[in-house]
Amino acid sequence: MSSSSNRFLPLLLACLAGQGALAAEWSYEPRIEARALFDNNFLLRTSGAQSESAVVILPSISMARRTEISHASIDARAELWRFPGNSNLDTNDAYLDFSTGKRGERSQWQIDAGYVRNTSITSELADSGRVDIRRRRVSSNLAPSWSYLPSERARLSLNLRYDNVDFEDAATEFYDYTYLVGSASWLYQLDQRNQIQVLLSHSRYEVNSLGLVSKTNGLQAGLVHNFTPLLTGTALIGLRRTDNNGVSDNGALALISVEHKGRRLKLGASLSRDVMPSSLGQLNQSDRIRLDAAWRFNELRWIQVVLLAGRNLNTGIGTRANDRNFVDLAINGYHYVGRHWRMIASYRYRQHEYLVSGASARSSRISLGVQYRFGKRAVSR
């Protein structure tokens, strides 16, 4: 575990314990899931594709408490991957998420934090694309936020997020880095359907082993529109200026999104341009399309489609060899059998193409799983 994670975890537990002292009720829900999968190019190699089969065991637990003005939760999950035909790929991964917050008459605050211990195979597709190399990856993040209502029509929001990424295997293919981004947002309601928004942001990306420091300042403005009570759209556009060790790069920033929350259909879609940190020792300009849609047939069956597609381009000096397009599409079907059992069938398609070399790779994966949910247990205090 990284040193930053050792600092974060006691803080998370202390926050949850402090919230619990005033809580009327705690709840917890354990789950366990087993999956079997087949992938025709698991390492997404541009040449010499190799198929793999695997069995994955996923124990997890959620703990939470909530009142009318506050909340606190911890979600913990392990993923135990076993490959019968290639034990070199076996891995035990861990995920931990924490959230706490409180709402006042005019203001509210929230603290989110996370810890992930997995490998580059499962974490690097949208970042570097180097999922053909297995390296242990440990990341932690801390994200406090605060908002205030100075009037009935206006809202001021301040957000901060810190990410620390370490590779434990002294890898030469990847670089440890830190990323700090802060933003201030002003939202003003023009009428019942329209709000204007102005967003200022600053980020700092550091790779100590390369002596690289990239700083980005951004300004965006736009409109939030409520088409219906269930459908909301956002459009923000702006400019950024990035300094990579004295080398400047200017570019556009954009976010166009829609969100629909219906009884049967839940939909979130966005088109964005932003700068993103990378484990390749470079700051990328990333154009992305996201889609997350879920359709509920009835109380027992539903289907989910998740799409992430984009293009990453180096904003600084150095090689363009890692500039690339990527696609990650997942289709998941869920079916409850009784009160506690849930069947899961999934298909996943991955693809990426390097713009300089023209090399490309794609893979298809199918998986079947079963999950047992023990049920939510409440503990009164």
pLDDT tens track for 191-239: 999 999 999 999 999 999 999 999 999 999 999 999 999 999 999 999 9
Q: What global pTM score does this model have?
A: 0.88
Output the six-digit token pair for 293: 């849609």
% the chain with pLDDT above 70: 92
In sequence order, the β-bridge partners of residue 150 are: none
Domains of the chain: 3-380 (2.40.160)
> What does the pLDDT look like over 99-120, one tens digit per residue?
999 999 999 999 999 999 999 9
- For residue 312, is pLDDT > 60? yes
- Dihedrals φ, ψ of 320, to 5°? -105, 10
How many residues make up the chain in this entry?
Answer: 381
In sequence order, the β-bridge partners of residue 325 are: 311, 353
pLDDT at site 171: 60
For the chain, give the mean pLDDT: 91
- Which residue type sits at 265? L
**How far is it, in rounded angstroms, from Cα 317 to Cα 245?**
9
pLDDT at site 188: 97
25 in Cβ contact with 379 (< 8 Å): yes
Render 2-63 in DSSP notation, one character per residue. -HHHHHHHHHHHHHHHHHHTT-SEEEEEEEEEEEEEEETTTT--SSS---EEEEEEEEEEEE
- For residue 315, is pLDDT > 90? no
Render 226-262 in DSSP notation, one character per residue. EEETTEEEEEEEEEEEEEETTEEEEEEEEEEEEEEE-
**How far is it, in rounded angstroms, from Cα 16 to Cα 26?**
11
pLDDT at site 11: 53
